[in-house]
Amino acid sequence: MSRSMPPPPSDELWMDSALRHGRRGQGRTWPNPSVGCIIVRHGRMVGRGRTMPGGRPHAEAVAVASAGIRARGSTAYVTLEPCAHVGRSGSCADRLVEAGVSRVVTALKDPDQRVAGRGHQRLRSAGIEVFAGCSSESAVRDHRGFLLKTVVGRPMVTLKLAMSLDGRVACRTGHSKWVTGRPARRLVHVMRSQHDAVLVGRGTAQADDPSLTCRLSGDVGAPARIVLDTRLGISTGCKLAASIDDAPLWICHGTDCNPQAVREWSSLGARLVLCRHGPEGGLDLDDVLKKLAMLGITRILCEGGPRVATSLIAKDLVDDLVGFTAGLVLGGDAMPSVGDLHCLQVGDGHRFNLLRVDYVGDDTISVWTRPLDFHHLLP
């Protein structure tokens, strides 16, 4: 990919629309990225598409179909390099060529080995003008889960902490209902719908007995619920089991678990994922994330508890940190949102960059992120 001139400003505006449209599919397209595509002719949008649930059809196929003959002589804005491999229904680069598109603007190169520059090449060799690298920073952010899964072999992890002003998630008795208010809790359901899976440790699954389903009206996905339970000791009488028809339930466990529990959970319909043990006896989180990526998961929302949060942060596995903070003080004897990290100096802490802050009802939300280097995917 080469960049000769900066893109005209309208390219960035159209690409932002494509990114916004693609983002609306997040949480439902795994193992594929949620790509957005906008087709523009004579300054007007004539077609639009995004990756469909389950990952197919791809965005370009949907957009080209909606544009029909108006795609001739148009510019297509795609948030990821169009695929070049003949998958379940032909390559997107071929679709754009056949539709008569005359210019293609993309945000990023696709690191998938089957694509990796071949999509751009296919378009160029058909005489189409290609500009790659428009709004690439936003695209890296939107496709972060897919990029991490493909390049690093683990999903993106968003850690949600709902805490008091002094960073506590529950009283020392374990009582936690409710630290944050209803609007904040509702926003968590929206966040769930934007992830492929929601993850909790066994402690939280047992203490809170959550169902972790996505209770929103309208056309929303049903992210998989994942519990980390080394010994598979969680009771089959929990709400996660009772709601197994509403959303998939996966349990990551170790080698040392009761065969009776394996049989019971399997017959209930849970997917059991065997993972390696870490040095401290619990599950090795690197291995857990690797196994989940191999199963196609690209975006995980971790909802606690403190033990999982601590291990994820300690291992630098948190990509986005979302803090909901209530105007409540619970005191030093209450449960901290994150456990011991053994920092001796402030510099040993794990620093995140602020993306945005907002009010949610009587609480605040702050979204923090860690920089990610995907230079090789940029022009």
Q: What are phi and psi of 213, to 5 degrees?
A: -85, 170
Residue-wise burial string across 65-104, b where 16 or more C-beta atoms lie within 10 A, e elsewhere: ebbeebbeebbbbbbbbbbbeeeeeebbbbbbbebebebb
Which residue type does 266 have? S
Minimum gap (Å) between residue 119 Cβ and Zn ion: 8
Active site (annotated) includes residue 137: no
Minimum gap (Å) between residue 130 Cβ and ligand AOF: 14
From the list 55, 210, 305, 323, which residue makes contact with ligand AOF (rule: CB under 6 A)?
Answer: 55
**Which segment (107-115, 216-224, 314-322, 345-353) binds ligand AOF by CB under 6 A?**
107-115
Minimum gap (Å) between residue 88 Cβ and ligand AOF: 5
Q: Round to whole Å and give the CA distance between 286 and 306.
A: 18
Q: Which of 367, 355, 377 is nearest to 136 (CA)?
A: 377
Contact between residue 157 and residue 317 where contact means Cβ atoms under 8 Å apart: yes
Residue for token digits 């995907």?
Answer: 374
**From the list ligand AOF, Zn ion, none, which binds 339 (C-beta under 5 to 8 Å, kind-based)?**
none
**From the list ligand AOF, Zn ion, none, which binds 59 (C-beta under 5 to 8 Å, kind-based)?**
ligand AOF
Cα angle for residues 16, 21, 24 (degrees, 5° grid): 130
Residue 136 interacts with ligand AOF (CB under 6 A)? no
Beta bridge partners of 77: 38, 105
Q: Considering only residues 30-69, where is the footprint of Zn ion by CB under 5 A? A: 58
From the list 35, 105, 132, 227, which residue makes contact with ligand AOF (rule: CB under 6 A)?
Answer: 35
Q: Considering only residues 104-133, where is the footprint of Zn ion by CB under 5 A? A: none
Contact between residue 129 and residue 97 where contact means Cβ atoms under 8 Å apart: no
Catalytic residue among 60, 129, 280, 303: 60
Give whichever of 91 and 164 is closer to ligand AOF, judged by the CB atom. Answer: 91
Contact between residue 148 and residue 311 where contact means Cβ atoms under 8 Å apart: no
From the list 11, 60, 94, 208, which residue makes contact with ligand AOF (rule: CB under 6 A)?
Answer: 60
Quickly count: other Cβ atoms within 10 Å of residue 130's Cβ: 18
**Which segment (82-90, 273-281, 283-291, 366-374) binds ligand AOF by CB under 6 A?**
82-90
From the list 21, 23, 28, 58, which residue makes contact with ligand AOF (rule: CB under 6 A)?
Answer: 58
**Which segment (32-40, 101-109, 266-274, 330-338) binds ligand AOF by CB under 6 A?**
32-40
Q: Where are the alpha helices (DSSP H) in 24-75?
A: 59-67
From the list 37, 83, 132, 300, which residue makes contact with Zn ion (rule: CB under 5 A)?
Answer: 83
Q: Round to whole Å and give the CA distance between 299 and 293.
A: 9
Residue 106 interacts with ligand AOF (CB under 6 A)? no
Residues annotated as part of the active site: 60
